[in-house]
Structure 1
């Protein structure tokens, strides 16, 4: 589990603001599941999805997501992993491959998390942010994610990553604004994600 507690350039949980926020969210918590729920709800509800509000800048590092209070799903998953790890709760990054445009057969990755809870083991959680018909919840051991995998070409990628996929980091760091990112969302064929 130690690898799912490490800091890295993107999951920079040793940043003072992340440590402070993580401590505030854990204050008075009876157990890890309660702390994990609070971290999840903070990222889901207090850090808006950039596209929902049409808000720049494009963020990537967890500390930048917290500072600017916005991020695409990938960036929000980076912040959630950082908050959980700062509270010594093992957390990883997960991805789904979803159909973006059926006419042009365009797909993109969707970023979410997995958290390890002693009572349940690994559970995937999705702090993308609720909007319209999207209703992601924290209900271990069940998974209530933002998007179901439905059609051909879509997939729940099976791995729990300790660091973000390079294709995700490159897309976030390359994009000058949310519109540029929306036109170049990262994608991988499921067979290349091992």
Structure 2
């Protein structure tokens, strides 16, 4: 547990300290060389504030981003149940862009076997979020989300290798480079 917690915190702090700057996101969204793939891209991240540096790696290696992008963070709350209306907390990452952040919350008593899938609930709540925003573009954007949903939803989960810094003590290198990465591998294979 100590190794898992230690490695997780180090990885989270790295992502938080190296999150994508607004200027970089503007460069990505305005770059004509980056294709706009149809559909919705759900990019899973631990970060609640900011965009993971893995996103820029993804865009540079694939040279594409989806017409609707949602950065999804799933968080467990120390309460029994979260009402369906409060389960999805949306925020627009960049004005006039179809890029959003969504924090999906659940309590420890919430059923994981709901009638609707997480995907359906998330997209329906995204449309509701867009409807509730002020602006003349609202109906056009809801239509864009509908078309993107019909084109397909892609789950993007970044996989990163955590390494101790050069010059770290042997114990830290062993803990992070070997043991923590071994634990991550075991969890990924079990899922």
TM-score normalised to the size of structure 1?
0.27
Higher helix share: 2
Superposition TM-score, scaled by structure 2 size: 0.28
